């Protein structure tokens, strides 16, 4: 794709990766992604903000064909999907300086062997004049590594946010027009890489309140010309309050755990609790991650395999432990044939979750009426716990201003 005009002197550049289906060898990308780079021309100097993933470097370099001079390359984030082509850009513009946080400088030297002399490091709130335009650098750690920052282009009221507010979507839409689609993709992205750092992201969002921006230009997915839409969504995702939601990832080998899951889901639904049920044999783990953003309770369903949990259930527990959702309660249900240690072993996999563990329901063989009664009690306990916290239903788009 060719570069695209945002306004006089500010351009989208970069590459759309329609066919990418996996990120970090872990994260499913059902809708592809983009690596957004931006060119800002000031009256005195020109700056490129971020680059692209190295396999797409040729596209960025062709967009830079008519750009004679680049004085600065801003690196918001050292991860290679944004920084990887910077050495190639510097090959064309050897006098350009790389502008980044001090932490990012060290990472770029380690990852890309960019020499020490090529850097200008910037502190939080520092500005850089391009003549008639001013860049203000805002340190916003953990979106998604510790070295990350955003850039506020003051005169144009544009916030360049890199991963922050980004979405993995390949689209020709320059701006987010299909808000429902972008909301889900941005939530997926938040869940997979930023959720563990939501307390710090609350502070980053607070910092942005004093900045005047009408456009957010992230480095993945479309731009936002109605920033309230994504900023309000982030406030909901990072808040300390979960919603009236249970997430239930499970595996069943011969149907017993499946019967228990069905019974529990029905019992919870009758009590007005929203439940997301995921068969781990077929589910997209990104969908599971999205629902963990809102979940007040996580219930893991697993049969017993060689005394422990099914490996797929262990994987789901490990994933939840890594993503550190704000869930308050957890439980385990499932069946075994002759002996089991699933409760102890699953509990050992989730030390990061600050949850109250509700009585598990583990049955021998097929569930009986006694086991179904135990599941009814678990459903009642979960619903009562949610009621005590006055949890609200999950929200989708929240368009009003805070
Ligand atoms: Fe899009 Fe953390 O890189």
State pLDDT tens for residues 210-250: 999 999 999 999 999 999 999 999 999 999 999 999 999 99
The closest-lying atom of ligand 1 relative to the alpha carbon of residue 162 is 1
Distance (angstroms) between ligand 1 centre and the Cα of 229 equals 21
pLDDT value at residue 290:
96
Mean pLDDT across 123-131: 98
Distance (angstroms) between ligand 1 centre and the Cα of 11 equals 21
Instruction: Give the whole-angstrom CA distance, residue 376 versus residue 350.
Output: 25
| pLDDT at 164 exceeding the cut of 90 | yes
pLDDT value at residue 399:
47
Distance (angstroms) between ligand 1 centre and the Cα of 202 equals 19
Mean pLDDT across 331-359: 97
CATH match for 245-387 among 3.90.1150.180, 3.40.190.10, 3.40.50.360, 3.30.465.10: 3.40.50.360
Distance (angstroms) between ligand 1 centre and the Cα of 392 equals 32
Edge-to-edge order in the sheet of strand 97-100: 4-7, 10-17, 33-41, 46-49, 72-74, 97-100, 119-121
Distance (angstroms) between ligand 1 centre and the Cα of 185 equals 14
pLDDT value at residue 396:
67
| pLDDT at 354 exceeding the cut of 60 | yes
**In this structure, are residues 168 and 222 in contact, taking their beta carbons and an 8 Å threshold?**
no
DSSP helix/strand/coil, 32: coil
**pLDDT band of 401, cuts 50, 70, 90:** very low
**pLDDT band of 260, cuts 50, 70, 90:** very high
Q: At what angle do helices 179-193 and 228-238 cross, to 10 degrees?
A: 40
The tens digit of pLDDT for each residue in 188-198 reads 999 999 999 99
The closest-lying atom of ligand 1 relative to the alpha carbon of residue 220 is 1
pLDDT value at residue 394:
86
The closest-lying atom of ligand 1 relative to the alpha carbon of residue 166 is 1
Mean pLDDT across 295-323: 97
Pairing label, strands 149-153, 134-139: antiparallel
Q: Which pTM does this prediction carry?
A: 0.94
Could you tell me the residue ranges of all domains in the chain?
A: 4-238, 245-387
- Joined tokens for residue 219: 């480095």
**pLDDT band of 402, cuts 50, 70, 90:** very low
The closest-lying atom of ligand 1 relative to the alpha carbon of residue 148 is 2
**pLDDT band of 25, cuts 50, 70, 90:** confident
Asked, colleague to colleague, whether 4-238 and 245-387 share their fold, the answer is no
Q: At what angle do helices 311-323 and 342-349 cross, to 10 degrees?
A: 30
Q: What CA–CA distances, in Å, run from 225 to 53, 175, 222, 230, 244?
A: 25, 6, 10, 10, 31
pLDDT value at residue 24:
82
Averaged confidence pLDDT in the chain: 96
**pLDDT band of 398, cuts 50, 70, 90:** low
The closest-lying atom of ligand 1 relative to the alpha carbon of residue 145 is 2
Going by alpha carbons, the residue nearest to atom 3 of ligand 1 is 79
| pLDDT at 400 exceeding the cut of 80 | no
Distance (angstroms) between ligand 1 centre and the Cα of 85 equals 14
Q: What CA–CA distances, in Å, run from 154 to 76, 295, 387?
A: 17, 38, 45
Integer distance in angstroms from the first to the last C-alpha of the chain?
36
The tens digit of pLDDT for each residue in 55-84 reads 999 999 999 999 999 999 999 999 999 999
Distance (angstroms) between ligand 1 centre and the Cα of 68 equals 28
Going by alpha carbons, the residue nearest to atom 1 of ligand 1 is 163
Fold (CATH) for 4-238: Metallo-beta-lactamase; Chain A (3.60.15)
pLDDT value at residue 23:
85
Mean pLDDT across 99-112: 98
| pLDDT over 90, % of the chain | 96
* Ligand 1 pocket list (CB less than 6 A): 77, 79, 81-82, 144, 163, 219-220
Mean pLDDT across 316-341: 97
Q: What angle do CA 107, 197, 235 make, to 5 degrees?
A: 125
pLDDT value at residue 293:
97
The closest-lying atom of ligand 1 relative to the alpha carbon of residue 80 is 3
């Amino acid at each position: 794709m060719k570069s695209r005009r945002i306004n006089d002197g500010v351009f989208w550049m970069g590459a759309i990766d329609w066919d990418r289906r996996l990120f970090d060898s872990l994260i499913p990308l059902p809708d592809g992604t983009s690596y957004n780079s931006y060119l800002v021309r000031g009256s005195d100097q020109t700056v490129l903000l971020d680059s692209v993933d190295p396999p797409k470097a040729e596209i960025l370099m062709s967009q830079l064909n008519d750009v004679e001079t680049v004085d600065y390359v801003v690196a918001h984030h050292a991860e290679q999907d944004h920084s990887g082509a910077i050495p190639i850009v510097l090959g064309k513009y050897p006098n350009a300086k790389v502008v980044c946080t001090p932490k990012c400088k060290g990472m770029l030297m380690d990852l890309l062997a960019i020499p020490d002399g090529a850097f200008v490091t910037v502190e939080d709130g520092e500005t850089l004049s391009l003549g008639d335009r001013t860049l203000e650098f805002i340190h916003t750690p953990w979106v998604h590594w510790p070295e990350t920052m955003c850039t506020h282009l003051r005169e144009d009221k544009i916030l360049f946010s890199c991963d922050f507010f980004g979405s993995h979507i390949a689209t020709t839409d320059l701006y987010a027009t299909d808000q429902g689609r972008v909301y889900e993709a941005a939530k997926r992205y938040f869940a997979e890489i930023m959720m563990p750092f939501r307390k710090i992201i609350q502070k980053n969002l607070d910092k942005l309140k004093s900045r005047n921006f009408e456009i957010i230009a992230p480095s993945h997915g479309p731009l936002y010309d109605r920033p309230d839409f994504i900023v309000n969504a982030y406030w909901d995702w990072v808040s300390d309050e979960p919603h009236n939601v249970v997430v239930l990832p499970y595996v069943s080998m011969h149907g017993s755990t499946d019967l228990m899951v069905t019974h529990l889901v029905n019992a919870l639904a009758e009590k007005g609790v929203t439940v997301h049920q995921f068969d781990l044999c077929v589910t997209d783990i990104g969908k599971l991650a999205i629902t963990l953003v809102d979940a007040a309770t996580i219930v893991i369903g697993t049969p017993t395999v060689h005394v422990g949990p099914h490996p797929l259930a262990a994987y789901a527990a490990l994933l939840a432990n890594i993503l550190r959702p704000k869930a308050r309660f957890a439980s385990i249900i499932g069946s075994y044939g002759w002996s089991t240690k699933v409760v102890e072993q699953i509990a050992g996999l989730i030390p990061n979750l600050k949850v109250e563990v509700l009585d598990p329901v583990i049955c021998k063989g097929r569930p009986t009426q006694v086991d179904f009664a135990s599941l009814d009690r678990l459903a009642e306990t979960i619903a009562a716990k949610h009621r005590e916290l006055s949890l609200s239903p999950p929200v989708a788009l929240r368009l009003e201003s805070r």
